[in-house]
Amino acid sequence: MTSKSTAAQPAVAYRHFNMIRDFTLADFVTLCNAASGFSSLLASLKFVTTQEYKWLQTAVLLLPLAFLFDVLDGHVARMSFRGTSPMGQELDSLADIISFGCAPAVLGFAVGMQGLWDLIILCYFVCCGVSRLARYNVYASGIAEKDARGKIRYFEGTPIPMTILIAMWLLYLSVDGRIGQETLLFGKYIFFGWTFHPAVLVYALSGTLMISRTIRIPKL
């Protein structure tokens, strides 16, 4: 009879809510970012169904709140004795795509960008945001130029939270009565049977700037 060369490995004991127990305080702050962004998305949908201005206002104002949580999670991580968790960066990117990618796109839909050409551009905008965050994660993992502290020195392309500016612009248009499929600023046109609102081009521009490799913005 031959003896076993290695001892049997003990089974890992998992507890209820094991993953949540591994979260740091910074991770919970990041989840508040995601919750704010998703709440903004729901408020936009509520505006579509009710046309009550308070829901549009809520949808827009939740995005600066999401940005506040996005900024705070890094500060909390540096001050906390547990620092960041291995999932921290991934959580941050996933929260950002909800708050600064999907939520602003749905807001554009809510204010009247509902033609087929509009939807194509809104999809392009979200895909640019996803690509921008994926590229940042790859660069942050080791191939980006870093300073003496090991921090990334600059962003390639505009940071995705800058899409809040689009949301604020749409809120301004709503105050001026320039939203809605028929009354949206710059009007609407029909190309090949599909509706196009020129105002949606601000999303095309924002998405293109996010994925640009020639724009470099210093990281504070």
- The SS3 of residue 129 is helix
Cβ proximity of 195 and 114 under 8 Å: yes
The model carries a pTM of 0.85
Amino acid at 4: K
Which domains, and CATH codes, for the chain? 23-218 (1.20.120.1760)
DSSP 8-state secondary structure symbol assigned to residue 89: H
pLDDT at 190: 95
What would the pLDDT profile of 67-108 be if each residue is shown by its tens digit? 999 999 878 877 765 556 667 778 999 999 999 999 999 999
Cβ proximity of 27 and 91 under 8 Å: yes
Of 30, 32, 62, 33, the closest CA to residue 45 belongs to 62
